[in-house]
Structure 1
């Protein structure tokens, strides 16, 4: 009986993680569609995203102080690259998406 309950709990947890993952991907896809990137912009944006993914992977290996030191110049440079890449309308869509994500993170942190 205990095994069945444990399996049911594990299945529910896996389903919840999967559902959250799908929701995040859907939001990301909608935001990309709203940005309306041109054929020229898309590969440049994907390269910036890959660069960010690699940076965040490296950040996991660093101490808190090293993260702050490395993070500020990286994010400043990334923002400058995005401003150069995006039109004003695209930048406003991007900033709105980022503000929404920040609010969601802050809300989640307060719930803990």
Structure 2
């Protein structure tokens, strides 16, 4: 069975993405720090890991988790926070992304789906 990691899977979009993968028969894990997402949004059939996307735990989960697909929806998307604390935005959106991609590279992930706007 193909294993998928959905980052930001406790948010509105990420949780629906996780639902769709589960409905299609995939094994799903959700990574979210719950800073804006809600635990009750995570599908009950998905494995839940509470961690910051920039943490060693998140990187190691991808490196060691046997995932084929990384579907990335975790982000700091509040414009006000980006203005008042740009370092936080960069840590989550830039360094966190690099952390996940490094874990994916180490773990042999073959497909990355990246949600972006703008």
TM-score, normalization by structure 1: 0.33
Larger radius of gyration between Structure 1 and Structure 2: 1
Hey, which of these two has a bigger chunk of helix by percent? 1
Q: Which has the higher contact order (CA 8 A, sep 6+)?
A: 1
Hey, which of these two has a bigger chunk of strand by percent? 2
